[in-house]
Amino acid sequence: MYTIRTATVNDVDTIFSIADTTWWATYSVILSEEQLRFMLNEIYSADKLAKQIANNVQTYLLLEEEDGTPVAFAAYSPREEDANIYKLHKLYCLPQTQGKGYGKILINTVAQKTREAGKHLLELNVNRHNKALSFYQKMGFAVAYEEDIAIGPYWMNDYVMRKVLE
């Protein structure tokens, strides 16, 4: 069993911990150590996470196992450029929990929240070399286009994937 709850600013350290553990396991084969450290500090600084949560810039969902241990999270919001599209900004499950269906559960939850907002298009970015690409395809996402995003001196080389929600 599991529970999903909306994260608060009190969960910033937990979110960073899950991201930190997951990023090293996922991206160390794709990105340099320097780029990993830079991007983690840039994207997941306590200050940035707290502001995103406090100002409702992104909604963070925490998935907790039966014993209350947080093991996965997702973050989503209406897309800044087009409020008709919701964006799944982040989805990370601790490596030891991958394969338990938590990623699917979180995507389905975000999809439901998107439909409840009256929207029918969910979008995400995924590194073009990330093994999660096949997972997102199985979840019904299709590559819409490629996008290269500068973060400091580094680049995120992504696919933008979209899923039409019924």
Q: Which CATH superfamily is domain 2-164 in?
A: Gcn5-related N-acetyltransferase (GNAT) (3.40.630.30)
Task: Express each pLDDT in 118-132 by its tens digit.
Answer: 999 999 999 999 999
The pTM of the full predicted model, rounded to 2 decimals, is 0.95
Domain regions of the chain by residue span: 2-164
Per-residue HEC secondary structure of 90-146 comes to EEEECHHHCCCCHHHHHHHHHHHHHHHCCCCEEEEEEECCCCHHHHHHHCCCEEEEE
Average pLDDT of the chain is: 95
Q: Above 90 in pLDDT, residue 80?
A: no
Confidence bin at 81 (pLDDT 50/70/90): confident
Confidence of residue 74 (pLDDT cuts 50, 70, 90): very high
**DSSP per-residue string spanning 10-56:** GGHHHHHHHHHHHHHHHHTTTS-HHHHHHHHHHHS-HHHHHHHHHTT
pLDDT in tens, 30-54: 999 999 999 999 999 999 999 999 9
Cα end-to-end span (Å), the chain: 27
In this prediction, residue 83 has a pLDDT band, given cuts at 50, 70 and 90, of confident
Mean pLDDT in residue range 64-73 = 97
